[in-house]
Chain A
Amino acid sequence: MKQILFLFFSSVLLFSCKEEVVSYSPTPYVLNEPSHFPDMEIPADNPMTKEGVKLGRYLFYEEKLSGDNSMSCASCHALNLSFSDGEVTSTGIDGIAGNRNSMALVNLGYQHFFFWDGRSKTLEEQILEPVSNPIEMHESWSNAVLKLKDDVNYNAMFFEAFGTTDYDSTHVAKAMAQFIRTLISGDSEYDLLYKVENGIVLTDTEAARFNAITNQELEGYELFKSLNGADCIHCHSGPMAQIEGLRNNGLDATFTDLGRAEVTGDASDEGKFKVPTLRNIALTAPYMHDGRFATLDEVINHYSTGIQQSPTLDPMIEFAFQGGVQLDEYEKEALKAFLHCLTDSSFITNPAFSDPE
């Protein structure tokens, strides 16, 4: 009798094991990282899988995550605008405008803090915010997840990605973080300039593109780098076209939005904001944390003659004593031409990033 029972139990165990193995076997996702980028650090508790990325992409475009089923992440982060929204400040489902400009979502897997004030430390943590934020998607997570669970397709996708149908907001965040980690941009003319300067050999097609860079764009790049020119490189450099930091670039003498200081309460952080990437910058107008500048011309004028002094102004805004770097019209045009070299058209047309429906 005992033996029969034992056999029975072990076959049940075997059987259930087998079922698990067959239907939940996620496939590792291999990131397509440009050779001149550092290795992306993937959190140990959220490995990249094809199923996770696919689910994340569906969720990113899912309007059910908002209170009235009208808004998804993509409403404020649109692919053709390098995942920004073209608005001065973003407006949520209830028509209430926030006080900050939507941020482009580019190469975020390489970063260690998020939002204009750097208040989130991980993508997984960051993603939880917009859904429940009353001036954004304004939906409770419990309700959002209930709506998803009504959909058999989602139940299947969650099972394929995480091996469970009893999922919650943390699974949603993990899947979306996986999708956002795939949003890598590293194929602009800027990348070709970077590669050549760092002794990385170009392919033939890259070399042809490199040769097509105009003299005006090159002059703009020289200004961008040069201390006596536009002096942008201090903060917008390297393969990310940004340094990781929160700094005050002289927009205001006194602050209505305290920026980093709203998080730390430290007066030496007032007016400091995340240094944004300049990748795809020609696509992400309007500019700055409050969207105050409608065009790149206005941005260039700011750095040229509009710098405001304040106690936290960054020392690397070097010509602050004379209001800025004082570019003439010719130089401004060249700098603007160079800023267009940061546009990566293969990024905004990548079919893997678009709405899956």
Chain B
Amino acid sequence: MKSKIFTLIVIGIVLLAGCKDKVNTTKNYYCQLKVVPLFNGQEMELNVPYTGADGNAFKFERIAFFTTNLSVNNYGLMKEASLFNMGKNEYLFNTKSLVNEVKTLDFHTGVTSQFNHTDPTIFGNNHALNIANVDGLHWGWDPGYIFIAIEGKADTIADGQDNFDHSFVYHVGKDGNGRLHQFENVETVALNDTTHCAYLYLDMHTFFFGATDTIHVNSENSIHEGGQFEALAQKTVENFNSALTK
């Protein structure tokens, strides 16, 4: 009898130990890449006024952009496509991965031509380019996807009164308006012992008041596709891409 109990205890311990081991080896690790919108270096929110270098006040209603062919640490493709859509989805990826340090990061802003002209229902249900997930940022005819969408209102009259009646809408698509980004040693933070998050920043002040060029919201408040008003399209693309930093 005694020996039976002893055997049972031994079996129990072995089983328990086995379980514990299993838990350890099946632990899931995650790596995320988050984009943090800023206004002049400070974290910002939608629908809140911020004052720009020209004294105008800006309220943003949508800040969105696509990225394609993203890879981390030269491991090959990590994410075919993502849609950053402030307030809705702010991660370019959030995936099971052992990566805990983003040494190199490569991606295109916009949608590369390989995906930009196909039937937008062919992508899987969870794919960022599936028509069900694009939040209106796909126009069937040329240009295809809207790569960058920045919308809001400006108060252009400095009379101390809230008067946000000047809309701005910057929509740019079309092949050729994407840009390749390569970042090294992106700041990565351990959120807990299984999740690491890397950060990119998108400064909307830089978007309007870029290092090389300014978008004058009073007169340059609307651009679509990137065909009709080429000069502003190029400014939108260049300023946007210089506003995106590590």
Contact = CB atoms under 8 A, between A and B. Distances in A.
A39 B130 CA distance: 10
B228 A237 contact: no
Contacts of B136: 234-235, 237-238, 243-245
Nearest to B153: A315
Given A227-B228, A311-B164, A316-B151, A198 B169 contact: no
A316 B165 CA distance: 12
Interface stretch (B7-15, B101-109, B112-120): B112-120
Contacts of A309: 165
Contacts of B139: 225, 233, 237
Contacts of B135: 243-245
A319 B222 CA distance: 10
B121 A38 contact: yes
B135 to A, nearest CB: 7
Contacts of B132: 38-39, 110
A237 B140 CA distance: 9
Interface of A: 35-39, 41, 110, 194, 197-200, 225, 227-228, 233-235, 237-239, 243-245, 268, 309, 311, 313-318, 320-321
A198 B167 contact: no
Contacts, number: 76
A316 B135 CA distance: 14
Contact of A37 (B47, B61, B121, B140): B121
A284 B222 CA distance: 33
A36 B119 contact: yes
A42 B20 CA distance: 38
B166 interface: yes
Contacts of B130: 38
A35 B169 contact: no
Interface residues of B, number: 31
Contacts of B47: 268
Nearest to A234: B136
A323 B76 CA distance: 51
A28 B140 CA distance: 33
Contacts of B169: 315-316, 318
A311 B59 CA distance: 11
For chain A, what secondary structure do more than half of its interface residues adopt (helix, strand, loop), or is it mixed?
Answer: loop
Of B141, B165, B225, most buried by chain A (CB within 10 Å of CB) is B141
A209 to B, nearest CB: 18
Nearest to B171: A234
A227 B222 contact: yes
Contacts of B153: 315
A284 B187 CA distance: 54
Interface string B127-166: 0001110011011110000000001110000000010111
B125 interface: yes
B174 interface: no
B117 A321 contact: no
A187 B169 CA distance: 32
B167 A41 contact: no
Given A198-B140, A227-B224, A227-B228, A315 B61 contact: yes
A108 B141 CA distance: 25
Given A197-B140, A227-B222, A318-B167, A36 B118 contact: no
27 contacts: A35-B121, A36-B121, A37-B121, A38-B130, A110-B132, A198-B118, A198-B120, A199-B117, A225-B141, A227-B224, A237-B136, A237-B138, A237-B140, A239-B131, A244-B136, A245-B136, A268-B47, A309-B165, A313-B167, A314-B61, A315-B61, A315-B152, A315-B153, A316-B151, A318-B222, A320-B167, A321-B167
